[in-house]
Amino acid sequence: MTLIQRIARLVQADLHGLLDGLEEPEEVVKQTIRDMEEALEHKEQTLAALHASLQRLTAEAQEVGRAAREIDHHIDLCFEAGNDALARNFIRKRLETERQARQVARALEETQARRAALERTMAEQREQLAAIVQQLNLYMAIRPRQASATAPFTPGQSGAVVTDDEVEAAFLDEQRRRAGRTQASP
């Protein structure tokens, strides 16, 4: 890694750290969820394209197999008729068809492997997404309770309102206490 790349990564990390401090964690997680859902949607489209490729390759493999059987039949006819020159032409076609069959089989195998790998990746990402959503929901459920437990006192909160009767009783208590102090002082 070059020095410039390392410095660029350091500056980028510092900027990301600064932005993280400004951002609401809840909103960052929600954006992450949206990004993951978008990535899964893109992978779904890729999976659909792979499925279409598999269908096309399967049909092509069947067609190549049918063509190979037809060529073998023609080769048999050429040998029965003693036409070696025509038999050579059909043997050439058979060799080409066999090569094509191997290519189609290889492409089919590779496409099936890609589809299986993509399906595994998508399953893992769906599990991760579900876990993140579950954690966000838990955080959202706990957060209001935490906020109320740690919220500073503000006048007018429920349970903090003092009635006139309580003020009058406290006033009389304070008056008595002060009257007792002034009598004890002389």
Break the chain into its structural domains and give their ranges.
Answer: 44-122
Indicate the fold that domain 44-122 takes in CATH: Helix Hairpins (1.10.287)
Tokens found for residue 63: 């067609």
Please, which residues have CB within 8 angstroms of residue 40's CB and are 6 or more apart in sequence? 122, 125, 126, 129
What is the C-alpha separation between 69 and 50, in angstroms, rounded?
Answer: 28
Q: If you count DSSP H runs as helices and E runs as strands, how many of each does the chain have, helices first?
A: 4, 0
pLDDT of residue 68: 95
* pLDDT per position as a tens digit, 103-157: 999 999 999 999 999 999 999 999 998 888 888 888 888 866 655 555 554 444 4
Q: Is the pLDDT of residue 169 over 60?
A: yes
Whether 33 contacts 132, CB under 8 Å: yes
Give the chain's mean pLDDT. Answer: 83
Please, which residues have CB within 8 angstroms of residue 107's CB and are 6 or more apart in sequence? 57
